[in-house]
């Protein structure tokens, strides 16, 4: 794909982000501009934080203390994962993968996934609000004043923040400070768990209730039986040897009864094909068509036409909520200066090392190493790709 082709393919994404940057620039007097970061301070949500923290103070404090445990485990886990991944890339270990920025509207490098533009922004908004609200409500439960809430833009990328009274915060005990810092990442991890439960256990029954399955959409593996019989990617299989195929389970059960070197009758897109099966890679006694499942073809039941796109969109939303929220929660625990993990580490080191200058020096160098590891994950795979061209 040429540069011009890329611009055309992503024209709406480019227009969207250009409009966001133009909006921020036109309203720049209302923002606190700090380099590429633009902050817009408000009082929105502060009253709700106060109300919830007063009514449920014990529960909120308990959540904060649980967050410390989750945050500590997550801190160790993400440090190990990123350190190991960076080391594997440096030594060029087989199967080592780098990292990629995840931006709405842009493909995720190294995967077939594209983070959808509008759904992506909605996803980020929900995740960020949950993250920052958790910080704020735990702070208020410990009688730490929250001065502002607001939105932030890192270039064209949406963010949000709550701004606690730093002077009041540092006067609190280490446990209370850790509770405030770890609340945001812990809330993201819990949000990811809830979203995953909805995605796997709530939406599938809802989809089954409003749809009918009418076959299996496939991709063909070149050189195998399906390709040699003339079948093409995107074909919808509805019958094999006169057995109706409504979904992948039907197809798999039907193929269990076939062996290699058998001619079978496959109906796909209303046409008959006569592939000769080969031996299955995992079971030489079983016939193999050489196809990959794309998805079950579904249509809405009569009277449910308007609900199918809604449930599909909810499926996309909850998938991305689970996927992005867990990643944001964990990366916020990695110590790179501005993250919650960095602030937790600073409090820990100041308790461990009595000399504050020495503690700060150790903290700074740990953060520098962490930034270096992130740059390795982001840039080294790209450098190797460019030099290999």
CB 217 within 8 A of CB 236: yes
Task: Give the CA angle between residues 36, 42, 44 to the nearest 5°.
Answer: 130
**Alpha helices in the chain, H assignment, sequence order:** 3-9, 11-26, 46-55, 57-90, 117-141, 166-170, 174-197, 203-210, 225-228, 248-256, 307-331, 340-352, 356-388
Residue whose tokens read 């904060």: 64
CB 93 within 8 A of CB 86: no
Please tell me which residue, 250 or 4, carries the higher pLDDT value.
250
pLDDT surpasses 80 at 364: yes
pLDDT surpasses 80 at 4: no
Question: Which percentage of the chain shows pLDDT scores above 70?
Answer: 97
Residue whose tokens read 């499942």: 293
pLDDT surpasses 80 at 110: no
pLDDT surpasses 60 at 389: no
For the segment 286-319, what is each residue's pLDDT rounded down to a tens digit? 999 999 877 889 999 999 999 999 999 999 999 9
pLDDT surpasses 60 at 17: yes
Dihedral, 136, 142, 145, 150 alpha carbons, nearest 10: 0
Where on the phi/psi map is residue 234: left (φ > 0), alpha (ψ -120 to 50), or beta?
A: left
For each of the domains in the chain, give its residue range(s) and CATH number, in order of start: 25-207+314-388 (no CATH), 222-289 (2.30.42.10)
pLDDT surpasses 60 at 377: yes
Considering only CA atoms, which of 130, 188, 196 is closest in space to residue 333? 188
pLDDT score at 108: 83
Both tokens assigned to 334: 């990695």
pLDDT average, residue stretch 248-253: 91
pLDDT average, residue stretch 274-279: 95
Mean pLDDT for the chain overall: 92
For the segment 172-222, what is each residue's pLDDT rounded down to a tens digit? 999 999 999 999 999 999 999 999 999 999 999 999 999 999 999 999 999
pLDDT average, residue stretch 33-37: 84
pLDDT score at 113: 82
User: Coil, strand, or helix at residue 318?
Assistant: helix
CA-based torsion, 27, 32, 34, 36: positive or negative: negative
pLDDT surpasses 60 at 21: yes
- 100-114, 257-271, 308-322: lowest mean pLDDT where? 100-114
CB 159 within 8 A of CB 152: yes
pLDDT score at 388: 59
pLDDT score at 135: 97
CB 120 within 8 A of CB 181: no
CA distance 40 to 151: 5
């Amino acid at each position: 794909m040429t540069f011009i082709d890329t611009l055309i393919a992503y024209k709406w994404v480019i227009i969207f982000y250009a409009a966001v940057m133009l909006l921020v620039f036109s309203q720049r007097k209302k923002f606190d501009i700090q380099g590429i970061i633009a902050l817009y301070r408000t009082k929105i949500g502060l009253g709700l934080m106060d109300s919830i923290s007063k009514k449920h103070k014990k529960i909120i404090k308990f959540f904060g203390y649980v967050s410390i445990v989750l945050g500590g485990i997550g801190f160790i886990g993400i440090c190990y994962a990123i350190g190991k991944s960076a080391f594997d890339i440096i030594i060029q270990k087989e199967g080592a993968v780098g990292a990629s920025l995840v931006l709405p509207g842009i493909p995720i490098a190294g995967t077939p996934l594209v983070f959808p533009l509008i759904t992506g922004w909605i996803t980020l908004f929900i995740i960020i609000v949950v993250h920052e609200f958790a910080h704020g409500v735990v702070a208020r439960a410990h009688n730490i004043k929250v001065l502002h809430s607001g939105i932030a833009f890192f270039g064209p990328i949406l963010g949000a923040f709550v701004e606690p009274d730093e002077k009041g915060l540092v006067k609190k005990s280490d446990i209370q400070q850790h509770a405030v810092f770890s609340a945001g990442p812990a809330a993201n991890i819990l949000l990811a768990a809830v979203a995953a439960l909805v995605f796997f256990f709530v939406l599938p029954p809802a989809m089954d209730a409003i749809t009918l399955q009418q076959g299996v959409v496939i991709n063909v593996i070149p050189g195998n039986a399906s390709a040699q019989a003339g079948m093409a990617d995107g074909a919808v299989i509805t019958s094999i040897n006169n057995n109706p195929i409504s979904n992948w389970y039907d197809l798999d059960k039907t193929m269990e009864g076939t062996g290699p070197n058998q001619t079978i009758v496959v109906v796909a897109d209303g046409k008959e094909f006569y592939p000769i099966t080969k031996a299955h890679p995992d079971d030489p006694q079983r016939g193999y068509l050489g196809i990959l499942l794309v998805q079950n073809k579904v249509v809405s039941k009569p009277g449910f036409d308007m609900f199918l796109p809604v449930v599909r969109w909810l499926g996309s939303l909850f998938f991305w909520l689970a996927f992005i929220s867990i990643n944001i929660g964990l990366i916020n625990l990695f110590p790179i200066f501005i993250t919650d993990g960095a602030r937790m580490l600073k409090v820990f080191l100041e308790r461990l090392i009595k000399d504050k200058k020495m503690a700060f020096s150790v903290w700074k160098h740990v953060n520098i190493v962490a930034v270096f590891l992130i740059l390795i994950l982001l840039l080294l795979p790209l450098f190797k790709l460019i030099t290999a061209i």
